[in-house]
Amino acid sequence: MKILSPAKINLYLKIKNKRPDGYHNIETLICPIEIFDSLSFIFDQQTISVKCNPEICSQENNLAFKAANLFFKEAKIKAGVKIIINKTIPAGAGLGGGSGNAAAVLSALNKHYKTFSIEKLEKIGFKIGADVPFFIRSKPAIATGAGEKLYEYKGLYPFNIVVVYPCFEVSTSWAYEKFNEIKKNLRLTNTKKRNKYPSFINQKNKIYIENDLEQAVEPSYPQISDIKKDFIRNKADKTLMTGSGSAVFGIFNNFKTATKAFEYFLKNKRLIVFNTKLIV
């Protein structure tokens, strides 16, 4: 079996409060995009093994390994699986590569063994990571709680998206800690009165985006601000850091304009660049 595991971007991320379990309560609009890792599975093995190309990945610390191990434990099945991951999505970019891989493993094993409902699979996924439940369905969704409460979001336009990864990782835990330290001084719009969920899309050419973590992360990583400025110079309709970073995306209504921006960033050999679309 082979499964494609998409990346994601957060069009909107509002952080509320820290929870007793260490997570934060959030409100986010999370969307899959057409950047994929490819996972191949060989079932009915004696043990669980994971091989990543082109990089070498550890076993126990890999989310795909953890997902397989947890699936067999929850299903009370004594078996193993060989997983081969061909990586395209950069790690530590805020694009959800590891979480998507974990969800793909759970989905593949569930398809093979026909054990759990989608709802149960999402609950299992949350034990691995807050973004994993989203990737079980991989459809645009409002996520609340720590990310495990999902509400399908319809009506998104398949915007052209250019994603720029500056080839450094931002620790998610560090980003949230930094947010907690300086949130009182941040110029955050989450103090304004809003409806329960903002109207993210008004028309094809009007999209509302925001990320609370951006102002916490940017002072320590000025490259993120520089990339956003370059997106604006290249006529992006909107630009934002995704998740806790470090990847930045630009939204374009026009494919030719997106392609020109993609070619502009591609000239910088210190960046990894993708020209893609929202999956809606």
Active site residue ranges: 8, 131
Report the alpha-carbon distance of residue 69 to residue 221 in Å, rounded. 36
Contact 180, 216 (CB under 8 A): no
Length of the chain: 280
| Token pair 């709680």: residue | 145
List 238's β-bridge partners, or say none. Answer: 251
Q: Is the peptide bond before 107 cis (omega within 30 degrees of 0)?
A: no
List 144's β-bridge partners, or say none. Answer: 149
- In degrees rounded to 5, what are phi and psi of residue 129? -175, 155
Cα-Cα-Cα-Cα torsion 263, 265, 267, 268, nearest 10 degrees, comes to -170
> Could you tell me how far CA 63 lies from the centroid of its own chain?
14
Q: Is the peptide bond before 246 cis (omega within 30 degrees of 0)?
A: yes
3-state SS class at 75: helix
What single DSSP character describes residue 199? -
- Phi-psi label, residue 98: left if phi above 0, alpha if psi -120 to 50, beta otherwise: alpha
What's the token pair of residue 238?
Answer: 């909107």
Report the alpha-carbon distance of residue 153 to residue 30 in Å, rounded. 9
Query: Strand 210-211 vs strand 2-18: parallel, antiparallel, or unpaired?
Result: parallel
